[in-house]
Amino acid sequence: MTDEAVELRDIVVRYGDTTAVGGVSLTAGRGRVLSLLGHNGAGKTSLLQVCEGFRRPDGGIARVLGLDPMADHDALMPRLGIMLQSGGVYPWATAGEILRLFASFAATPLDVDMLLDRLGLRKFERTRWRRLSGGEQQRLSLAVALVGRPELVFLDEPTAGMDTEARHTTWRLIEELRADGVTVLLTTHLLDEAERLADEVVIMRSGAVAATGSPAELTAAAGIDLLEVRAEPGLVPDGRLADFKVVETTPGEYAITGSLDAATISDVLGWFAGAGAQVTAVNTRRRTLEDVYLALTSGEKVYR
Ligand SMILES: Nc1ncnc2c1ncn2[C@@H]1O[C@H](COP(=O)(O)OP(=O)(O)OP(=O)(O)O)[C@@H](O)[C@H]1O
């Protein structure tokens, strides 16, 4: 195995008769952001638990910062930042007490006051965990994960339940972590979050990897999704456009789908010209990561 931040080979996780992860391999390079996507129950959290050393895999090999997450757990923990989906803290302690406690475990912690300010938690410093809202608990959990200056951070749905402002703050923090050379492994159900943050996306489906690549690679491989043409209303496509689906969405606005590339787009525009139509606007739309994700997880073919 190489000197990657995370390297998983053929990881299997079973719960009784249920195979939650059925032989997953993936690599997260140092200083990169890797996002795990997948439906509820796809196996994302189980995979994170293997990386964090909280679950022994039923098969395969895991290396995290070059170490075995189970056998080398004590050596590894101070180098990791872990944000769980929920819980993991003392409900009766205040936000300030919790963050200072975790800071005290670290050799060179971040400044607690700075973190409280950055995550908008200053006014909750004396509020007990159990009295914080869901989004405020999430922000505190993120602060706890970061306070020890980890080399590698695991974030399980970090912005779930956060308001828009907190979500953007979290995104900026993750971008700063990457700029500082920290590796981030995050799970999310928010495709725009993955598209914005991730260098590498791993789409999981029923415990297996359905696709991997950068957001740009995944969307580029899926090609152009839609051609929009504005011309005069009421044009009726003939046999030359038989390979495409043409819908006049509003009078004079045509939405064309099918096998679209530079050559076929030129053919379509040629048809409009041949029909004597004056084309006043042309627009193409690439598939978004959400389109690719939905197609992959529903089993539809997206690659031509
Ligand atoms: N402790 C457990 N005991 C039994 N089954 C479990 C346990 N934990 C998870 N599972 C099952 O394993 C499968 C994968 O669960 P996991 O939590 O890893 O999925 P996930 O992708 O993180 O889902 P979500 O997006 O809902 O968080 C699911 O079918 C789940 O019901």
Give the pTM.
0.83
| 292-302 pLDDT tens trace | 888 787 654 44
Q: Is residue 86 lining ligand 1, measured as CB closer than 6 Å? A: no
11 to each of 46, 55, 81, 162, how far by Cα in Å?
A: 10, 11, 22, 31
Give me the pLDDT at residue 230, please. 96
Residues 228 and 213 grouped into a single domain? no
Distance 19 CA to ligand 1 centre (A): 10
| CA atoms within 13 Å, Cβ hemisphere of 201 | 29
Give me the pLDDT at residue 84, please. 72
Residues 240 and 205 grouped into a single domain? no
Domain interval for residue 48: 6-217
Q: Report yes or no on 291 lying in a domain.
A: no
Q: Report yes or no on 300 lying in a domain.
A: no
CATH assignment of the domain containing 158: 3.40.50.300
Q: Residue 265: which H helix or E strand, with range?
A: helix 262-274
Q: Report yes or no on 1 lying in a domain.
A: no
Q: Report yes or no on 190 lying in a domain.
A: yes
- In the sheet that holds 152-156, the strands lie side by side as 80-83, 152-156, 183-187, 33-38, 200-205, 208-213
Q: Which of 161, 186, 217 is the last residue of a domain?
A: 217
Q: Report yes or no on 175 lying in a domain.
A: yes
Mutating to test ligand 1, I would choose from 21, 40, 58, 203 the residue with most ligand atoms within 8 A of its C-beta, which is 40
Residues 68 and 27 grouped into a single domain? yes
Residues 207 and 236 grouped into a single domain? no
Residues 230 and 211 grouped into a single domain? no
Number of domain units in the chain: 2
Residue 252 CA, distance from chain mean position: 38
Q: Report yes or no on 130 lying in a domain.
A: yes
CATH assignment of the domain containing 254: 3.30.70
Q: Report yes or no on 51 lying in a domain.
A: yes
User: Structure tokens of 123?
Assistant: 């006014």
Residues 240 and 139 grouped into a single domain? no
Residues 126 and 260 grouped into a single domain? no
DSSP 81: E
Give me the pLDDT at residue 23, please. 96
Q: Is residue 18 lining ligand 1, measured as CB closer than 6 Å? A: yes
| 84-100 pLDDT tens trace | 766 667 888 999 999 99
Please give the Cα distance from 167 to 155 (Å, whole number): 13
DSSP 78: G
* ipTM exceeds 0.90: yes
Q: What percent of the chain stands above pLDDT 70? A: 95
Phi and psi at residue 38, to the nearest 5°: 165, 160
Residues 202 and 234 grouped into a single domain? no
Is 186 buried (19+), middle (13-18) or exposed (0-12) by CB count in 10 A? buried
Q: Report yes or no on 116 lying in a domain.
A: yes
Q: How many residues does the chain have?
A: 304
Atom 17 (ligand 1) nearest CA? 45
Secondary structure E strands in 29-58: 33-38
Q: Which of 217, 250, 276 is the last residue of a domain?
A: 217
